Structure 1
Amino acid sequence: RTEWIMTVLHIVTLLYGFIHLSVSTMKWISVRRGGSVTIPCFYGDRQKTHMKYWCRGDDWRSCTPIVHTDSPQEGKVSIRDDPDQRVFTLTIKNLTAGDSGTYWCHVEISGGSNVGDQVYLSVTDGSPGLSVDKQEVTGVEGDNVSVQCRYRNSDSLKLWCKIGGSCASERSVSLDGRPVLIREDRVNRVFSVTMRGLEMKDTGSYWCDAGGWQIPVHITVKPIIITESCETLLFKSTLLFSSLVQLALYVGLGLLVLLLIIIIITWKVRDKHSEVAETQV
């Protein structure tokens, strides 16, 4: 029970940070050695044009810069900024035990008053504290998407949260008014999250939370693209060709009738002239 209370307090702290702080990110992330991880860092409107960077160390004032947006690649670490979504994303590949430690998402502000938030990264040989099969998930408008969150501590509270929004547990039926289904499999130590009836506004950043660990997941919802089969296209083409042939026949028949009418009128006019000429003679 105490662990659940601590987890809830931790989630409240995270959500407060995402909403109110200038820069915010996850707090505890666990990854298996040899794997990779993507970590989002969120910032406010006022930081859109500022340089962002990723550094390592317990104290942000003395942490060692690793990569920044003016130089987005350094070895196995890369950074990508998306000012429209107000997020810069760190990707670290081929993780080793030596990569475990405290890191900082930072935004450089003129005058040296930098702002940032810290995250602890744990690289383990065994099962990570919390993991997902894919951190990037794509769905189609109207369909469902599912995320499998695999945990290590079976007694912890399991949550599915949206960045800048709220969290849902297994008892929940919705997240910020959108339908969500959460089911836990304690035998296999996994809880699955299904978001149903996707809408374009469901695109965004989410995270699984269990035992104090978080793992971010980005969901992209694409619009429905109506495609037609070759049989349908062939049928429509045949129908169009048949309609054009019928139109051509009708037009041709009309022209033929018009030509006949002209010939008859011309013949009658000439016949009339012939009768008048004979009468005058």
Structure 2
Amino acid sequence: MDPLMLLFLLIAGLTGVSTVKWMRVQRGGSITIPCFYDDRYKPHVKYWCRGYNVSSCTPIVHTDSTQEGKVSIRDDPDQQVFTVTINNLTTGDSDRYWCGVEISGASDVGDRVNLSVTDAPSGLSVDKQEVTGVDGDSVSVQCYYGNNKRHRMWCKIGGSCASERSVSLDGRPVLIRDDTENKTFIVTMRGLERKDTGWYWCAAGYLQIPVHITIKQGGDNEKLRWEQVLDAVLKAGTGVFYLICTIIAIQLHWTSCKKREPIREKQKVSLNQRKLAEEMTFIEQNESEEL
């Protein structure tokens, strides 16, 4: 087993809480960190704190609080994971943090994560930490490693790891391709199933970046596609409606003009006939006077 995975499982077995170990994020960005816990901790309050160890660190957010701000926390007992999201990161956020679980009448348990925020590129990043796929299909994740030349892997948290030479991950076909020109390794998972939903991570040396993959049923995706098509039709229909209204207005104006044209012609003819009658009357009068 990979040493990194072995360390992860060892710590999880000792404390009942586990998370990623080292993350480096560029200033101004955000990060979501998953914290996993044993089934026995489902009813317990979870928290995120900053400090040297879990017994003396300063809590920032708790799962029993609805406070939202720069740091937010959300517990998912069904999946036995709580997630912490930190936004608008600054270099002052660099420190040692803990995923903690409150234990009544005893010392709290937790796992440590080291977070470093830098002005320069982080050395390991992804476009987005939330990726969605469809069962039976495939998903791809691009892990940017920049100038980080260390060994690169793709791991499933609680499962195994795969490298560029691997062809599968926990029995699922996987392809890992290193794009050296763009300094990216691209992970493609194929033949997806609903059970593949979960947290994974990109790793380059000791750095890790977590990625959550959600696999939906084909019907769900088909419904989503139809909703997107309907939305597009409605948007296009609005433009078509205005175009039709413009055409109708032009047509009505043209028709109205055409209707007025015979009236003007009749008025013109009537005027000409009146003038002619007046001229004939004038001539007849002159001829009578001469006689």
Question: Measured at CA, do residues 186 and 18 of structure 1 come closer, stay the same or move farther in structure 2, by a change above 3 Å?
Answer: farther
1:46-86, Cα deviation, whole Å (9 max, x unpaired): 00000000000112221111000111435210000000000
Of 90-99 and 151-160, the range deviating more from structure 2: 151-160
Alignment of 1:1-281 (within 5 A): 8-18=2-12, 21-225=15-219, 226=222
Q: Tell me the equivalent position of 2:270.
A: none
Which of the pair has more CA radius of gyration?
Answer: 2
Aligned mates of 1:114, 1:196 — CA distance in 2: 40
Query: Aligned AA for 1:84?
Result: D
Note if contact 2:164-2:175 (Cα within 8 Å) is conserved in structure 1.
Answer: yes
Aligned mates of 2:202, 2:181 — CA distance in 1: 18
Note if contact 1:56-1:101 (Cα within 8 Å) is conserved in structure 2.
Answer: yes
Aligned mates of 1:204, 1:184 — CA distance in 2: 24
State the identity as a percent.
68
Note if contact 1:42-1:88 (Cα within 8 Å) is conserved in structure 2.
Answer: yes
SS at match of 1:16: helix
Aligned mates of 2:20, 2:26 — CA distance in 1: 17
TM-score by length of 1: 0.75
SS at match of 2:218: coil
1:120-157, Cα deviation, whole Å (9 max, x unpaired): 11111111021100100001111110000011344311
Question: Measured at CA, do residues 122 and 154 of structure 1 come closer, stay the same or move farther in structure 2, by a change above 3 Å?
Answer: closer
Note if contact 1:66-1:74 (Cα within 8 Å) is conserved in structure 2.
Answer: no
Note if contact 2:129-2:211 (Cα within 8 Å) is conserved in structure 1.
Answer: yes
Question: Measured at CA, do residues 139 and 25 of structure 1 come closer, stay the same or move farther in structure 2, by a change above 3 Å?
Answer: same
1:112 positional shift? 2.8
Aligned mates of 1:54, 1:75 — CA distance in 2: 13
Query: Aligned AA for 2:216?
Result: K
Aligned mates of 1:152, 1:11 — CA distance in 2: 23
Query: Aligned AA for 2:107?
Result: S
Aligned mates of 2:13, 2:155 — CA distance in 1: 13
Greater helix content: 2
Query: Aligned AA for 2:117?
Result: V
Query: Aligned AA for 2:150?
Result: S
SS at match of 1:73: coil
1:19 positional shift? 5.6
Note if contact 1:54-1:104 (Cα within 8 Å) is conserved in structure 2.
Answer: yes
Question: Measured at CA, do residues 216 and 72 of structure 1 come closer, stay the same or move farther in structure 2, by a change above 3 Å?
Answer: farther
SS at match of 1:41: strand
Aligned mates of 1:95, 1:219 — CA distance in 2: 24
Query: Aligned AA for 2:173?
Result: P
Note if contact 2:17-2:36 (Cα within 8 Å) is conserved in structure 1.
Answer: yes
Note if contact 2:124-2:148 (Cα within 8 Å) is conserved in structure 1.
Answer: no
For structure 1, the 5+ residue unaligned runs are 1-7, 230-281
Aligned mates of 1:165, 1:77 — CA distance in 2: 28
For structure 2, the 5+ residue unaligned runs are 227-291
1:98-135, Cα deviation, whole Å (9 max, x unpaired): 10100000000111321100001111111102110010
1:18 positional shift? 4.2
Note if contact 2:30-2:86 (Cα within 8 Å) is conserved in structure 1.
Answer: yes
Query: Aligned AA for 2:10?
Result: Y
Note if contact 1:19-1:164 (Cα within 8 Å) is conserved in structure 2.
Answer: no
Question: Measured at CA, do residues 200 and 118 of structure 1 come closer, stay the same or move farther in structure 2, by a change above 3 Å?
Answer: same
4+ aligned runs moved over 4 Å, structure 1: 226-229
TM-score by length of 2: 0.73
1:187 positional shift? 2.4
Note if contact 1:153-1:211 (Cα within 8 Å) is conserved in structure 2.
Answer: no
